[in-house]
Structures are given as structure tokens and as C-alpha cells.
A and B are shown apart, each in its own frame.
Chain A
């Protein structure tokens, strides 16, 4: 297979342009890219199944056919494996009947053996087979019962259905996270290429050959990898589905909010998908320089915590209190204290931490800010995690917050009030956190009933990461935006910066106030705003370590 490792060349902002002729019109496209990408830059979508920007080209689905000029005149070629040549002639389905026929034929071939069980398929609504049928197929089936289908499936999963038909494999449990439906598979080879090329652990393969080939794991072996759920995203049909999302929600009901993963300092770009105030899944959002098209299973399953164990009000000395009362009491405690320790958090946004700094400023010498984390830092996995669980660590450092939690532990007796914002110190290291219990008034701003909230004297509920607007700076020195999904468990919950603003009478009315404060502390942020940061973030000059 040494030759199949051809990664596609993707257009870049500074790619040199060459002119080619598409459907008779002269156009400028990036040089060296394949035709799928080149045509995309001029607004022509080429239907395809097996091609994926972040996987080696396999060229087996044959759906992306175009005509190109060669030594023997115009002829069919796959767009995903044909590089742009200056002056080349390309005909798409807009001008070539041959291309139209070829694409339609591929649709007919794929659907001939497909079970067509869209009504019970989770992929329906975001299925490439459905999309491409609408764009290139629209044929009437010529299949009939006597001819019959060749359902795909391993011998041990073949079965007779209620009508007595020989069927393939349905709902096969591949491992802890993924379910396989061999019948629906169109053998595009994306999942096996992902496991081989991205995950680096070839757990899936195509067994047998011809139309009786099927995807499977090695005998007795599960599909089990930190990134294995990505195969469910790249599967163009409903063959691979994640156990966490099966039969949960129809995808056309879901609204999408673009944000970033809060559990790792690479800040993988994600989309939070919600319906009716509830988050149903997290999907990767492609960023060529951050996480490509991948996210780890841990990041993907984070949404489950958004509806579990949430702190929706306040709690004072073990008794539930209304949120407004809790905030008011916190304000009184902070202002009545002799000396306040404020613990910032790399799990919160720049805006939240800026608010904490502004609060400290307003309290003057009575307040001191501490930062850092007790969580263990691992090594980058080369896919979509840096290994550092503190997402906004670099942001905190740039704001001037030092890594000095150990100082706080040593000098705990000096303080009579502790404010911990979005930072579960007691879960990270209960032993060390215990010494903070000498501080008589411990206020926790937390989205969850976590260990710190329980160890505090006053807990104040705040919004979780998926519900706030703001920004974080990832390990590459890239500032990226978080957007708010309308999924907070109660509408009263406020983001941490807003609660802190109330504690310090800062009078901030939106995240923009907090961001402006952060700009005052971080020169590299000058001139930026949320719009210019955009959905792909911005590299800050000279801040990456």
C-alpha cells in the first residue's frame, strides 16, 4: 500500500493561482491541489464518499468523476486524485453528460445493495448517500425482488429476516463506544484509513472481497481507542454509529453552536449540538492547524456532564439558597473580609479571569490573586490533545497570573476569605486542598456540585463552558472563541465574569467589557475583537512558549 499514502494537497491562503478551463470558462484555482479542492474554491461542489481532507486519498468510491483532457482527449477521471495542471480542461456534471451518467451509475450501484433503512438510521439527515442521491442520482430503482440484494455482513452475523431474506450484519457491538451496521456500509475505506493513518492502530479492516466484503475488527478484538468515535463522523452512511448518540435525537432537529473544547490546552474546535435546551452531542469542527477533523472521545463525551450534577442555585453552609441571595452574601463576605485570596482558573475564559483581576484591583491590598493547577500534565498525542488539561493556561499566564497555588497553601492562615472560581481544587488534590480549610469563609463559584463546592461555606452556581461567550488562548498561542449554547439548566445562571463583576461592583454588562480589560493586560490582544478572532481563532504574535 506504499502508494496509497497520498495525502491530499489542500489550498492555502497563499497558494499560487493557475488558470484552468472548467466547463468552458477560464477560472483561477490554487496550483497543485486536487480537483475536488480546486473546484470548491470556485464554488463547485463535487460529490464524493471516500475522499476526506485529512486522510490519504483512496479513490475507490468513483463518485467524484469529472472529465479532464489527456493524450487521448477528454476522459473520465476521479477529481480527488487528479492534480490541477495549468491550462487543463475540466468538465463537470454541469456540461458533461458522461460525468452525469457516471455519477448517477455510482449512486445506482451503491443503492442496489444498501438496505435503505433510513427511517431507523441515525445518519439520516446528514448522510452522504442521501445528499449525493439528491445531487447526482435521482434515478428510479431497477432492482426487483427476484434479482435480490447482496447484503453485506460477516458470516457469523448473517441472518434471515422476518420475510425470510438473507440479510447481513446489523447492530454489531464493536467495542465500548461504537456500533457497526455492516449492511449499510458502502466500503469507502474511510474508517480503516483513519485507524491506520491517524489513530496509528489498525483495528478495523475490510474482510473478504467484491460485494460481499465487510468492515470488521480482528477476530475477538474490540474497536477500542481514545479516538475511535471519529469513525462515526467520517462514516458517510449509518454504518458506524456511537453508542452515546444512537436513537437519541434526529439530527435535523439539532442547532449548532461553534465553540472549543475546554478540557485540553490545544482547544480542539468543536460544535455543540443542542435541541430544546439540551446538548445532545459534540462534533469536531475542522481546523487545519489545531485538531484537523478529529476530537478525542473524552472531549466528545463532555456534553454528558453538562446535564449532570449541576449547581443551579446557591448553597450556604450546606443549605440551598436562591442564587441571588448567594451572590449577595458572597459580595458581603468579600467586602467584609480582612484579607481575600482569589484563585483564578485556567479552566475559565480570559474574560472570567480578567474579572477576577479587576475584582482584586477594586479590593486593593486586601486581595491577592493565586493561579496554577494541581492536575497532571501529559504528553501531546499528536492528534487533537496537547496533554495539558488546563485549557486556558497560557491565557492566565499572559494575564500575569502566576503558578503559585503552593504559596496559597503555605500562607493559608493569612486569609479569612477564599474565592475559588471554576476550579475544582478539592478534586484535583484533596490532601493539599485540605489545608485551605483553615480559611473560615470559602466561596466557590462553580457550575457543578463538585468537591470544591461541597467543601466551601458558600457555593454560587455559574454557567458551564458550553453556555458562555468568551475566549481562551491555546498552547499554540492562538486565541479562540467560545460561543454560548442556549442550554443553561436555568436561565438565572450567569457566567463567572458576571458574578464576579457583581461581587466587585465592576458594572460590566457584557463579555466585551471583560475582554477590553484583558486587552489592557495583554498587549498582543490589542486591535482584536470577537469578530476579527473569527471562528478559526488568531495566532497571537510572540506569545507561544
Chain B
């Protein structure tokens, strides 16, 4: 069994403080943490190779180093627990199984950045997780692990749980901050970045649940040990939410660089594919899909997946077999992104809906020749022209599903007997008049 850094307490009842402590929990709330200066701690996290586990994979130590220390404003820590990407469910399980590890991680991060107030922004639908977190916070406060003068160190931290209202876009950090402040969850123009001016116009660090939960292990075992678990560039382990046509879907933690097929087929992990593998979405619904052939070559780390022109994302692996229709899957995805576009930027607002309606037209047997190229053109046009990457998250599946499973889409269009009809039946252009 590989070393676990985040999920080692699963199934042990660690949501209770005493159990968590008996398993070595809150070990870092001691001189191990408080003897370190802020700079030493940030350096330690940098050396561990820990990268943001929310999707973008930004080096955590570097992110922390961007937060100014003497701005005269409070520094906020916001935990992004608005896990909304289709296929992702690891944060939900992590918070349910081991809430105290998150709190411990937050204290570590809080110490590094001089945070006095921290928020956990939890997706609105995660009601059980919110209840678990609140119960854990209550226990931690009662034990003097939160509030004023934590463990006699002189450091004080307050943590609040904030329940989101159910929008995928609130997983984008500036939309999350707007929502936290009570505004509509729409991404902000950048710069300024949250590290400089985030929540309440103050320096803000937004980190994913899993990122923070890795910190206690790193502090206990040292950054080099953590780095050594993964590949040279992608250190540590990663928690994957595996779903789809596998025999045992679930949440699995494996070292970075593990072959994708090992995750899917290992008897200790997913135990194999149901049916014959057709493709894998490796990092959440927005990440470019891999064909079965590509999936067999893929390793689960940032660089290896980038080389296959896809990404590790939030670690949501969706495997599907040959019985699944690519048209059906893409129709679901375009509907999701059209529904979740916040409506701020024109290309995303109008484009995702437009692409979705074309997709529905194709799926209902009314597609025409040229529709697929029209889709690809729209996807190219709404990529990289908006405030946040939601439009790209729609464009990648469109480009890759159509690109890699094109014969299926063409077969769908071919079902329409009128597929070759001209676009307009009546010539109603001004030229017809003068």
C-alpha cells in the first residue's frame, strides 16, 4: 500500500476530535509549526512541491508568497470547497471523513500568512459536509484549537463556514469571493488578483480543500519526503474521484505519476473497466477527453497529461466504455456549461448556449452538414476571450469529443434526410431588393 498523505484516516471515524487526535491529528499545532517563521514555512511548502489541487495546479508556496504582509489590511484565507465540476467529488468525501485535517491545514496556512479570519466556502448542496464541518469546528473551538491564542502560541484564528447557493462558477476564486461578500457570483476583472485585493478588498489566499489537507503530513514528515512521493515536477500524492464504467468507483489517493490504467485496473483501486474502454476524461468534465489508446499511455501527473494535451485538473477521472455515445456525452456537457455560464461575458453567455442548441439539434436528428464545423468555430471563438476560463471549459470538450470521435457525430448528422438543405430556404437578403 502506497503512502497516504490526505486520506489515511478514511473509515476510522476521524470526524470525532478524540479519534483524530489518537491518530496523530493536530500534531502540527505545536512548536513544529509555531517555531517556524512565516518565511520558513512558505519555503518549506515550496520545497514540498505541493501544487493547488483545485484544478489549475499552481504551486502553493508561490501563491502564498504573493500575499503582501504589510498592506495594513487583514489577510483572509478562503477555502474553496465549492466542488462543482462534473465528475469531481473528492472534497466532499474529504470533508465528510476528515474535517479536522482541513482545520489543521487551515491553521498551518493561517500561520504562514498571518490570517485571523478564514472562511470555508462550501457548495450549497453539500449539506452533510457542512454539518460535519460545523460539528468539527465546535469541537476544535472547545478544545482551544481555534479562537484566541491557539494552543498557547499567541496565534488566533477564527473559521466560518459559508454555504454557497449552488453555482458552478463560484468555484472560480473571484466569483467565490463575490459570492462570499454577498454579491452575485461572477468572476472579477483581473488584476487585481485576490492575493492583493480579494475578499473585502483585502489580501486573500484561496486554496482548495485537498491542498490544505496535505499540509499536516508535510509538516510531520518534511517537504522532501512529500516531494519524493511523486514525480520530480509534480510532488506528493493526489486524490482522484473515479466514476463511470469502472467496477469500483470512488475516491482514491495515489502518488503523482501513477499510470492512469493502474488507477483504473488495480485490484486495490478501481478493479477494472466494465465492458471495453472507449475513453477517459482525466481531470473533470472540462479536461480534454482521452481515447482508450491515449489513456493507456497516460500517467497521472501535471506534465504527463499536459504532454497529451489534456490536464490533471481536479482529479476527476471519468471512464466510459464502448456502449456510451460520444454525442450523448457531449450534449450533456454543453448543456451543463450553458446552464452554468454566469452570463457576464458575451462570448461565453451567448456562445455556450448557442453551441448547446446546435448540439441538441444534432442529437435530435436535425443536424446538417457543416454543423460540426460551426460548433468547432464557435468553440474556438469563445475560448480565451472571456474574464474566466468557463468558456474554455466548454470549448475543450467540444473540440476533443468532436475531434476524437468525429465519425459518431457524422453518423448522427447523416440520420437527417435534409442534412444537405441550404441554410435559408428563402433568399431574404437586402441584395434581393436593390
**Chain A interfacial positions (CB closer than 8 Å to B):** 1-4, 6, 49, 57-63, 65, 75-76, 81, 101-102, 105-106, 108-110, 112-113, 142, 144, 146-148, 150, 186-187, 189, 206, 208-213
* Residue B330 is within 8 A (CB to CB) of chain A in the complex: no
In the complex with contacts A2-B197, A102-B385, A57-B351 CB distance below 8 A: no
Q: Select from chain B the residue with minimum beta-carbon distance to A114.
A: B350
Contact (Cβ within 8 A) B387 A210: no
Complex Cα gap A144–B338 (Å): 19
Contact (Cβ within 8 A) B192 A3: yes
Q: Inside 8 A of B346's CB, which chain A residues have their CB?
A: 49, 60-63, 106, 109-110, 186-187
Q: Select from chain A the residue with minimum beta-carbon distance to B381.
A: A105
Contact (Cβ within 8 A) A210 B181: no
The 22 listed contacts between A and B (C-beta, < 8 Å) are A1-B183, A2-B200, A3-B189, A59-B387, A60-B345, A62-B385, A101-B381, A105-B382, A105-B385, A106-B347, A109-B346, A109-B381, A110-B350, A112-B354, A113-B350, A144-B368, A147-B358, A209-B169, A210-B338, A210-B340, A211-B343, A211-B353
Contact (Cβ within 8 A) B351 A210: no
Complex Cα gap A297–B415 (Å): 59
Give a binary string over B160-173; 1 marks a CB under 8 Å from any A CB, 0 the rest: 00000001010000
* Residue B258 is within 8 A (CB to CB) of chain A in the complex: no
In the complex with contacts A2-B197, A142-B423, A60-B350 CB distance below 8 A: no
For the residues of A in contact with B, the DSSP-based class is loop
* Residue B178 is within 8 A (CB to CB) of chain A in the complex: yes
Q: Inside 8 A of A142's CB, which chain B residues have their CB?
A: 374, 423
Q: Inside 8 A of A209's CB, which chain B residues have their CB?
A: 167, 169, 340-343
Q: Select from chain B the residue with minimum beta-carbon distance to A3.
A: B188
* Residue B66 is within 8 A (CB to CB) of chain A in the complex: no
Contact (Cβ within 8 A) B345 A62: yes
Contact (Cβ within 8 A) B366 A146: yes
Q: Select from chain A the residue with minimum beta-carbon distance to B339.
A: A210
Complex Cα gap A65–B383 (Å): 13
Among A49, A61, A62, A206, the residue within 8 A (CB) of B343 is A206
Q: Inside 8 A of B368's CB, which chain A residues have their CB?
A: 144
In the complex with contacts A3-B188, A105-B381, A187-B343, A210-B352 CB distance below 8 A: yes
Complex Cα gap A105–B346 (Å): 10
* Residue B286 is within 8 A (CB to CB) of chain A in the complex: no
Closest chain-B Cβ to A88's Cβ sits at a distance in Å of: 15
Q: Please give the number of chain B residues whose Cβ is less than 8 angstroms from any Cβ of chain A in the complex.
A: 43
Q: Select from chain B the residue with minimum beta-carbon distance to A106.
A: B346
B301-340 contacts to A, CB under 8 A, are 338-340
Q: Inside 8 A of A59's CB, which chain B residues have their CB?
A: 189, 387
Complex Cα gap A102–B386 (Å): 11
Q: Inside 8 A of A76's CB, which chain B residues have their CB?
A: 384-385
* Residue B36 is within 8 A (CB to CB) of chain A in the complex: no
Closest chain-A Cβ to B323's Cβ sits at a distance in Å of: 28
Q: Select from chain A the residue with minimum beta-carbon distance to B344.
A: A60
- Which 4 pairs of residues, A with B, have the shortest CB-CB distance? A105-B381, A211-B353, A109-B350, A213-B343
Q: Inside 8 A of A146's CB, which chain B residues have their CB?
A: 361, 366
B222-255 contacts to A, CB under 8 A, are none
Q: Inside 8 A of B349's CB, which chain A residues have their CB?
A: 109, 187, 210-211, 213
Complex Cα gap A2–B382 (Å): 27
* Residue B424 is within 8 A (CB to CB) of chain A in the complex: yes
In the complex with contacts A76-B385, A102-B381, A209-B341, A6-B347 CB distance below 8 A: no
Q: Inside 8 A of B351's CB, which chain A residues have their CB?
A: 105, 109
Complex Cα gap A209–B352 (Å): 12
Supply 9 further A-B pairs (C-beta < 8 A) apart from A62-B346, A210-B341, A211-B338.
Answer: A1-B181, A49-B346, A75-B384, A105-B385, A109-B350, A109-B382, A142-B374, A144-B424, A212-B343
Among A49, A58, A148, A210, the residue within 8 A (CB) of B342 is A210
In the complex with contacts A59-B189, A144-B424, A146-B366, A2-B381 CB distance below 8 A: no
Contact (Cβ within 8 A) B423 A144: yes
Contact (Cβ within 8 A) A113 B197: no
Complex Cα gap A150–B169 (Å): 21
Give a binary string over B173-216; 1 marks a CB under 8 Å from any A CB, 0 the rest: 01000100101100011001000010011000000000000000
Q: Inside 8 A of A2's CB, which chain B residues have their CB?
A: 181, 197, 200-201
Complex Cα gap A311–B192 (Å): 60
* Residue B357 is within 8 A (CB to CB) of chain A in the complex: yes
Q: Inside 8 A of A189's CB, which chain B residues have their CB?
A: 344
Q: Inside 8 A of B424's CB, which chain A residues have their CB?
A: 144
Complex Cα gap A124–B340 (Å): 32
Contact (Cβ within 8 A) B197 A62: no
Closest chain-B Cβ to A439's Cβ sits at a distance in Å of: 64
Of residues A62, A110, A147, A187, which shows the largest number of chain B Cβ atoms within 10 Å of its Cβ?
A147
Of residues B338, B340, B352, B381, which shows the largest number of chain A Cβ atoms within 10 Å of its Cβ?
B381
Complex Cα gap A60–B339 (Å): 18
Complex Cα gap A433–B37 (Å): 82
Complex Cα gap A186–B385 (Å): 17
